Amino acid sequence: MTDLTRTFAALADTTRLSLVEYLMRNGEQPASALAGLTDISAPAVSRHLKVLREAGLLHQRVAGTHRYYSVRPEAMRLVSDWTIDHRAFWAGSLDRLDTLLALDPEGEDE
């Protein structure tokens, strides 16, 4: 299994994807805050966090008894680069204007 497939595997679970998206929106969060996001038990969340960490998606900061998690930008970058590597295929078949506008530095308004 490559880094890329491991990354995709880590994101191929609704709970884990939610955790990653939440951390991207809200920045570093303690495990307790993340456990409260879902209906599943705390140990289950802890294991999902471990999967994400071992796949390189999350960084863990230890402070006392608390563990603070944050998304590693490199992981997102890995996915982004993969799509970019193949954009000659998919972007050529679609309207690429949206993509260009979305990545234009002048267009940062959301």
Partner DNA sequence: TCATTGATTAGCGCAAGTGTTAATTAGCAG
Partner DNA sequence: CTGCTAATTAACACTTGCGCTAATCAATGA
Q: Which residues bind a second copy (CB under 8 A)?
A: 1-2, 4-6, 8-9, 11-14, 17, 21, 24-25, 71, 73-74, 76-77, 79-80, 82-84, 86-91, 93-94, 96, 99-100, 102-105, 108, 110
User: Residue 66 and residue 30: Cα distance in Å, rounded?
Assistant: 7
User: Residue 58 and residue 93: Cα distance in Å, rounded?
Assistant: 34
Nearest to 29 by CA among 64, 54, 6, 60: 60
59 touches, from DNA, a second copy, none (C-beta below 5 to 8 Å by class): none
Tokens in use for 108? 């940062």
- Count of residues in contact with DNA, rule CB under 7 A: 26
User: Residue 10 and residue 87: Cα distance in Å, rounded?
Assistant: 23
37 touches, from DNA, a second copy, none (C-beta below 5 to 8 Å by class): none
List 20, 23, 35, 57, residue binding DNA (CB under 7 A):
35
CB nearer DNA, residue 66 or residue 87: 66
Residues numbered 56-75 forming contacts with DNA, rule: CB under 7 A = 60, 64-67
Phi–psi pair at 30, nearest 5 degrees? -75, 155
